Structure 1
Amino acid sequence: MVEDDGEDAEPLIKGLQRHGHEVRLVQTGAEALKSYDRADMMLLDFELPDLDGLEVCRRIRSTSTVPVIAITARGTELDRVLGLQSGADDYLVKPYGFRELMARMEAVMRRVKAHEVTPSVISNGGLRINATTRQVCLDGRRIDLTRKEFDLLYLLASQPNTVFPRKRIMQEVWGGDWSRRTIDTHVSSLRNKLGNKDWILTVRGVGFQLGGV
């Protein structure tokens, strides 16, 4: 997050953290240009004390495809056009609602992921997941999983450093209504079949993440 007003940023950071995001705040354009390559997404305020946000966005886009959502008080049609032309993936005018921001972030990430190629075989220590054959092996031993157990494990393994909120898991694996019990039951079954609960870590109050043993 690139925002020069720390007081404005604090409640937003806490909200994003509650939804499973790891957030780093920088307060100048210069800091943003030094750190964007370590981010999965940038929320960029265009009103910065040292550089104009448009210029920051242009410089980032000249060397990187990191998703950028512009957040600004500049709300005219021309401002929006300039922001998008500078390379922003989306444009949000202050004041805005947190739910709208979350929806826009999710939409941008869906578009980004649609262009990413997930490897057909994922390896993590002794765990090997083959998406083509839908087979899972642990230390050379085949693990028989149900269709949904495989989908859940593959989702977690596809982004091993990501904490997946329960709601996102339900949407991506089941594509249906929210059900905490359904997810917890499948996680418990996976842990039993893998022989160690540390393969799937619970992040209290958020969701689950692939672990390792």
Structure 2
Amino acid sequence: MFHGLYGVLKLWRSLRRRGRDIGRDQVARLMSICGVAGIVRGKRRTVTTEPEPSADRHPDLIDRQWNTPTRPDQWRVADFAYVWTLAGFCYVTFVVDVYSRRILGWRASMTRRSDLVLLALEQAIHTRRRGSFEFTSTVLVHHSDAGSQYVSLALTDALRDAGMQGSIGSVGDALDNAIMESTIGLYKTELIDLKRPFRIRSA
């Protein structure tokens, strides 16, 4: 019997917020009786990160110290992921403020060219400038993995022009960019499957 712990917790919390006094085990039993299961992320896979060993890399200025920032606009993390559509894989990139966990910039594209991450970076800067005249990107740290898009000359120049410090973590280490892994996971679960929050199992 599988109903998905994530789906049980989501439904249980939703019912509790609505004032229903019900336990998690009872929710799990009712889901099982009704044949309702939590979301299972798709099995389609593609590669999003293409390391470029010959390119110059920024040092790792974060070193997994995610609790260090004491205010917004100190550190930002960036990454992109794929989403399966009827037209094929669509790539979505995000720029997130580490302190507030707010998504400041995002872009979607059917290709993985460098301008995908550049446009997200520009949007993140403009988002903060619209919200505060005092905002400055000088000495702000922009952290990412070592994908070819993030070590490109175009992104390096954009970071320098904005006064940001580039930071790149270790290759193939999901924990190094844990905040983005969590953000992307929630994006796929909460938004991509929004129209079908629960999967009905066939008999």
Q: Same fold (TM over 0.5)?
A: no
Give the TM interval when normalised to the shorter protein.
under 0.3
Point out which structure has higher relative CO (alpha carbons under 8 A, 6+ apart).
2
TM-score by length of 2: 0.26
Q: Tell me which protein shows more helix as a share of its residues.
A: 1
TM-score by length of 1: 0.25
